[in-house]
Amino acid sequence: MQRPEPEPRSFDRVLSSMCTEPHPDARAAAERFLATNPGDPATYDAVADLEARAVEGLATLADHPSPGDAAGYVTSGGTEANVQAVRSARNRHDGGRGASDGSGGGGRALNVVAPASAHFSFHKAAAVLGVELRTVPLDGDYRADTDAVAAAVDDATALVVGVAGSTEYGRVDPIGELAAIADEAGARFHVDAAWGGFVLPFTDHAWSFDDAPVDTLTIDPHKFGQAPVPAGGLLAREDAALDALAVDTPYLETRSQATLTGTRSGAGVAGAVAAMDALWPDGYREAAERAADNADWLAEGLADRGYDVVEPELPLVAADVPEPEFAALRDAGWKVSRTGAGELRVVCMPHVTRSALRAFLDDLDRIRR
């Protein structure tokens, strides 16, 4: 039974997504590799080779000490990468691995300490993995409050999380201080740069393997990396972080599988490599600068109109736009979303042009009349 063919989302009015229009090379590569499965490298060897290149590219961006043989893989997205980072830390914590009840071996649940700004995938990770998530308050500028983090860790803390480009306000936590707190507590340290990872190399923020003793890091090609969905990334400083995730695979011609999913997208892997080949570093630098300019321009435009604006740090603007205006913008076809506090939130992804933002403000002016 044929029904009318729906249209995929055009990105013209999408201001709410952390995904974007893929680079043309990335789209072409993804189309070629649609029917491959990097989860079965013995059968799909070409895409397995590509995955090694993707990991090397991501590790280069994230200043891994040896990008050529960094531990990592292309995940379905930031959620899988974050869940796996929590799982690895749980398994590596003293007594954690093999304790089938997810406890530290002594019957006490392990915990993960993360700022309140951490992505909801950490809540999902805690629910899935049977660990306690301790979210701690932010400072006055939406960053992790290091005193609160220090007060929350204890010897059952398996992981401390720092966010480098938060989902709601685009903030970068004090990565060096958080790493030091984790180290003192005997916990692993994870940086969630899922969205920020392809922008941060062109800023002065501390976020990478080179900036602090980061154990694991999430960095997603299908966000600012301009790869097609699904292509997230998990990197680890040491092989042991991935080894702690390995489950035996009896019938595949490979020994074990460290991924959370089984079959994975060859399109995502091939698209990620093609995007990085085309854009690293100059194309990404230009995209990051353009996005930053757009965010500043939008923030100023909203402030000029009298809204309370959260000053952008990475290219994400939040502003206190009242609910009726927000609803009218959505009715006008703008895909916008809200922070937990109810602010309008605009993510200045590569597909978000200055003229689109101009049209957005024009619509807002029309609505306010």
Residue closer to its own copies, measured from CB, 134 or 212: 134
Say if CB 199 and CB 314 are below 8 A apart: yes
Closest approach of its own copies to the CB of residue 115, in Å: 14
Which residue from 315, 304, 314, 308 is spatially nearest to 344, judged by alpha carbons? 308
Residue closer to its own copies, measured from CB, 300 or 342: 342
Q: How many CB atoms lie within 10 A of CB 172?
A: 24
Residue closer to its own copies, measured from CB, 240 or 247: 247
List all residues 6 or more positions away from 185 whose beta carbon is below 8 Å from its beta carbon.
153, 154, 155, 157, 160
Which residue from 117, 111, 190, 123 is spatially nearest to 151, judged by alpha carbons? 111
What is the enclosing helix (H) or strand (E) of 160?
strand 157-163
Closest approach of its own copies to the CB of residue 165, in Å: 14
Residue closer to its own copies, measured from CB, 181 or 231: 231
Residue 284 to residue 275: CA distance in whole angstroms: 10
Residue closer to its own copies, measured from CB, 311 or 342: 342
Closest approach of its own copies to the CB of residue 204, in Å: 26
Residues comprising the chain, all counted? 369
Residue closer to its own copies, measured from CB, 169 or 206: 169
Residue 277 to residue 169: CA distance in whole angstroms: 30
Residues paired with 144 in a beta bridge: 138
Closest approach of its own copies to the CB of residue 183, in Å: 25
Residue 301 to residue 244: CA distance in whole angstroms: 49
Closest approach of its own copies to the CB of residue 301, in Å: 22
Closest approach of its own copies to the CB of residue 110, in Å: 9
Q: Which two tokens stand for residue 304?
A: 């000029």
Residue closer to its own copies, measured from CB, 14 or 288: 14
Closest approach of its own copies to the CB of residue 179, in Å: 25
Residue closer to its own copies, measured from CB, 126 or 292: 126
C-alpha radius of gyration, the chain, whole number: 21
Closest approach of its own copies to the CB of residue 230, in Å: 5
Say if CB 198 and CB 225 are below 8 A apart: yes
Say if CB 138 and CB 108 are below 8 A apart: no
DSSP 196-244: GGGTGGGSS---STTTS---EEE--TTTTT-PPSS-EEEEESSHHHHHT
Closest approach of its own copies to the CB of residue 232, in Å: 7
Residues paired with 136 in a beta bridge: 115
Residue closer to its own copies, measured from CB, 213 or 351: 351
Q: How many CB atoms lie within 10 A of CB 365?
A: 11
